[in-house]
């Protein structure tokens, strides 16, 4: 569908690809995508004049009568989607570097995942869905240990499972609130005043403690998580919210190497303000902070490892829990299994939440005091879903077996360098390229929201499904089987669109 091609760039890229692939591949190992997907398309295949095409439009109209789908890009044919390529209802096949808002870990119709999904164990998990905390299945410990817990971040040994990123964060908040209340209460029982007031949603039974979040952070859409979400007004408008505090998150300037002193000062400013906010509250009032390793919905905002080390130091100093939200950053895309491993913390976070690419959701922790004093407090009917834990295990095992985290780091390294070249050619169209040495977790800014939205649309026309974030950013969120050859398809399409 690309009508013109940058042949010099293509030739150079073919060479660079081979080098990048060589760097990331162990002797004897070949493309993992080719192993999984012998019939993966070699490139996009576009058959309609516009995307969405006529059949997508028609199907979406029908669906829209019963379900709110006004955000739809196109209607998808998942049966014919394969590997890094997503098919729409009109037969268009697009390279997918958005992957269901960063939630497809190993490509479409991954054979290893299909095997797990087709197993009798899965069928049983689906039809005999347990209330896990009351009637746990005899192999739930094993499923967790071989999957979700085997993947646990350094220093984390326990998990509470949930169903979505929002409820992973909210159950982590609940753990934080109960932890701080128990610490303040000591060994005493609940008082009569607490027992009575809580039924009226009033203190002291209901807590007036808070969760501190960061400007432009995104942690979900339910009432507690939305109160910590600070990404966009549209995400929050008209919904009641807790009056919880917010701190600034650094706004770094790019290229990083040209703004070292300025960026260090910005992080310093934000850390000082962060500690000031904490100190303006009574001790114990802020139960926890929640922070993303990269603020994703809010515009792919990064900060340095040193900044996060200081956050950890300050939270420890003031006895505030640190929750790291790895819902979008987790499971390998950053070039580490968990993005916060880039920080080299000496002292791990108190809780790390996950969802999206892991399909299962929940939070990791280590301190047994983060389990509340009695059963039935951190509780709900399902307390997770073994069918998702089985998928998470298969994902973890495939990622490990195929070194997909290391491969993603290598592919990301190659991709970043090539994007730098394009950004150099189109400095106005492609600003603030970021995500170096951060796997494929790469983003840049467009001149304006309008330009960004146009770019996303044109990229779809050029055969690449790509997503935005923040006001004017483009974010790359391919799966972990996105390799240098796929990167070239993206780069060629991007260069083609940039030229227009």
Torsion angles phi and psi, residue 161, rounded to 5? -90, 150
Give yes or no for residue 397 binding a second copy (CB under 8 A): no
Q: Which residues pair with 94 in a beta bridge?
A: 86
Q: Which of 174, 356, 357, 388 is catalytic?
A: 356
The two three-digit tokens of residue 470, written as one number: 């923040």
User: What is the phi-psi region of residue 210: left when phi exceeds 0, alpha when psi lies from -120 to 50, beta otherwise?
Assistant: beta
Contact pick of 46, 167, 323, 442 for a second copy (by CB under 8 A): 167
DSSP class per residue in 341-368: GGG--SS--SEEEE-GGGSSEEEEE--G
Rounded to whole angstroms, how far apart are CA atoms 179 and 432?
40
Rounded to whole angstroms, how far apart are CA atoms 429 and 82?
31
Residue 200 C-beta: closest distance to a second copy, Å:
7
Please, which residue, 361 or 409, has the CB nearer to a second copy?
361
Q: Are 480 and 101 in contact (CB under 8 A)?
A: no
* Helical (H) or strand (E) element with 325: strand 321-325
Question: Residues in contact with a second copy, total (CB under 8 A)?
Answer: 125
218 is known as an active-site residue: yes
Give yes or no for residue 409 binding a second copy (CB under 8 A): no
- Strands 76-82, 431-434: pairing is unpaired
Give yes or no for residue 315 binding a second copy (CB under 8 A): no
Stretch that binds a second copy, among 271-279, 339-347, 371-379, 421-429 (CB under 8 A): 371-379
Give yes or no for residue 62 binding a second copy (CB under 8 A): yes
Torsion angles phi and psi, residue 126, rounded to 5? -75, -40
Give yes or no for residue 138 binding a second copy (CB under 8 A): yes
Give yes or no for residue 367 binding a second copy (CB under 8 A): no
The two three-digit tokens of residue 445, written as one number: 């800014």
Q: Which residues contact 306 (CB under 8 A, 6 or more apart)?
A: 267
Please, which residue, 192 or 258, has the CB nearer to a second copy?
192
Contact pick of 3, 79, 187, 261 for a second copy (by CB under 8 A): 79
Q: Are 467 and 296 in contact (CB under 8 A)?
A: no
Q: x/- site string to a second copy, residues 146 to 165, per CB under 8 A?
A: ---x-------xxxxx-xxx
Please, which residue, 45 or 429, has the CB nearer to a second copy?
45
Q: Angle, to 10 degrees, between the axis of helix 305-317 and the axis of helix 260-279?
A: 20
Please, which residue, 17 or 180, has the CB nearer to a second copy?
180
Rounded to whole angstroms, how far apart are CA atoms 71 and 395?
28
381 is known as an active-site residue: yes
Rounded to whole angstroms, how far apart are CA atoms 339 and 328?
10
226-285: contacts with a second copy (CB under 8 A): 227, 230, 233-244, 246
Stretch that binds a second copy, among 25-33, 329-337, 338-346, 353-361 (CB under 8 A): 353-361
Give yes or no for residue 144 binding a second copy (CB under 8 A): yes
Q: Which of 325, 350, 385, 445 is catalytic?
A: 325
Contact pick of 92, 95, 151, 170 for a second copy (by CB under 8 A): 170
Residue 305 C-beta: closest distance to a second copy, Å:
27
Q: x/- site string to a second copy, residues 205 to 224, per CB under 8 A?
A: xxxxxx----x----xxxxx
Give yes or no for residue 117 binding a second copy (CB under 8 A): yes
Residue 341 C-beta: closest distance to a second copy, Å:
21
Q: Which of 177, 218, 249, 482 is catalytic?
A: 218
Residue 137 C-beta: closest distance to a second copy, Å:
5
Stretch that binds a second copy, among 110-118, 345-353, 410-418, 422-430 (CB under 8 A): 110-118
Stretch that binds a second copy, among 19-27, 175-183, 424-432, 489-497 (CB under 8 A): 175-183
Residue 288 C-beta: closest distance to a second copy, Å:
12
Residue 73 C-beta: closest distance to a second copy, Å:
5
Rounded to whole angstroms, how far apart are CA atoms 460 and 86?
11
Please, which residue, 7 or 66, has the CB nearer to a second copy?
66
187-206: contacts with a second copy (CB under 8 A): 190, 194-195, 198-202, 205-206
Rounded to whole angstroms, how far apart are CA atoms 108 and 11?
29
Give yes or no for residue 104 binding a second copy (CB under 8 A): yes
Contact pick of 24, 51, 77, 334 for a second copy (by CB under 8 A): 77
Give yes or no for residue 426 binding a second copy (CB under 8 A): no
> Which DSSP symbol is given to 332?
T
Determine whether 175 is exposed, middle or buried from the number of CB atoms within 10 Å of its CB (0-12, 13-18, 19+): buried
Rounded to whole angstroms, how far apart are CA atoms 487 and 481?
11
Q: How many Å separate Cα 210 from the centre of its chain? A: 24
Place of tokens 């993947």: 151
User: What is the phi-psi region of residue 383: left when phi exceeds 0, alpha when psi lies from -120 to 50, beta otherwise?
Assistant: left
Determine whether 262 is exposed, middle or buried from the number of CB atoms within 10 Å of its CB (0-12, 13-18, 19+): exposed
Give yes or no for residue 78 binding a second copy (CB under 8 A): yes
Q: How many Å separate Cα 490 from the centre of its chain? A: 21
Q: Which of 381, 401, 417, 450 is catalytic?
A: 381
Catalytic residues: 218, 325, 356, 381
């Amino acid at each position: 569908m690309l009508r013109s091609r940058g042949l010099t760039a293509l030739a150079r890229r073919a060479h660079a690809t081979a080098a990048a692939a060589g760097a990331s591949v162990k002797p004897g190992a070949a493309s993992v995508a080719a192993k999984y997907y012998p019939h993966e398309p070699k490139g996009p295949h576009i058959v309609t004049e516009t995307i969405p095409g006529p059949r997508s439009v028609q199907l979406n109209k029908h669906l829209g009568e019963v379900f709110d789908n006004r955000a739809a890009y196109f209607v998808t044919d998942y049966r014919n989607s394969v590997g890094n390529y997503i098919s729409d209802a009109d037969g268009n096949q697009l390279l997918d570097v958005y992957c269901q808002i960063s939630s497809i870990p190993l490509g479409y119709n991954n054979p290893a995942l299909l095997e797990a999904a087709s197993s009798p164990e899965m069928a049983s998990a689906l039809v005999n869905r347990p209330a896990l905390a009351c009637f746990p299945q005899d192999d739930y410990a094993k499923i967790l240990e071989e999957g979700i817990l085997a993947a646990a971040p350094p220093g984390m040994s326990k998990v509470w499972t949930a169903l979505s990123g929002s409820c992973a964060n909210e159950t982590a908040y609940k753990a934080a609130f109960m932890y701080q209340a128990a610490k303040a209460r000591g060994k005493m029982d609940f008082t009569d005043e607490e027992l009575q007031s809580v039924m009226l949603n009033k203190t002291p039974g209901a807590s007036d403690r808070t969760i501190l979040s960061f400007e432009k952070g995104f942690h979900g859409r339910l009432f507690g998580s939305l109160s910590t979400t600070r990404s966009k007004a549209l995400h929050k408008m008209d919904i009641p919210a807790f009056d919880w505090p917010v701190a600034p998150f650094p706004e770094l300037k790019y290229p990083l190497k040209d703004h070292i002193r300025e960026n260090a000062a910005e992080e310093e400013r934000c850390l000082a303000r962060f500690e000031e906010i904490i100190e303006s509250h009574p001790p114990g009032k802020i139960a926890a902070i929640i922070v993303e390793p990269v603020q994703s919905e809010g515009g792919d905002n990064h900060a340095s490892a040193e900044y996060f080390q200081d956050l950890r130091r300050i939270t420890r100093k003031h006895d505030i829990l640190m929750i790291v939200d790895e819902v979008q950053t987790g499971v390998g895309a950053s070039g580490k299994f968990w993005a916060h491993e880039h920080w080299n913390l000496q002292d791990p976070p108190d809780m790390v939440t996950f969802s999206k690419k892991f399909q299962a959701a929940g939070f990791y922790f280590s301190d047994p005091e983060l389990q509340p004093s009695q059963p039935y407090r951190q509780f709900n009917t399902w307390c997770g879903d073994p069918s998702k834990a089985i998928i998470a295990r298969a994902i973890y095992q495939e990622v490990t077996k195929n070194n997909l985290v290391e491969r993603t780091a290598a592919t990301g390294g190659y991709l970043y360098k090539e994007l730098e070249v394009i950004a150099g050619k189109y400095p106005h169209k492609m600003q603030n390229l970021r995500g170096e040495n951060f796997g494929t977790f790469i983003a840049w800014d467009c001149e304006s929201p309008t330009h960004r939205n146009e770019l996303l649309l044109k990229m779809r026309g050029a055969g690449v499904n790509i997503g935005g974030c923040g006001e004017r950013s483009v974010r790359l969120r391919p799966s972990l089987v996105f390799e240098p050859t796929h990167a070239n398809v993206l780069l060629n399409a991007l260069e083609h669109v940039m030229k227009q």
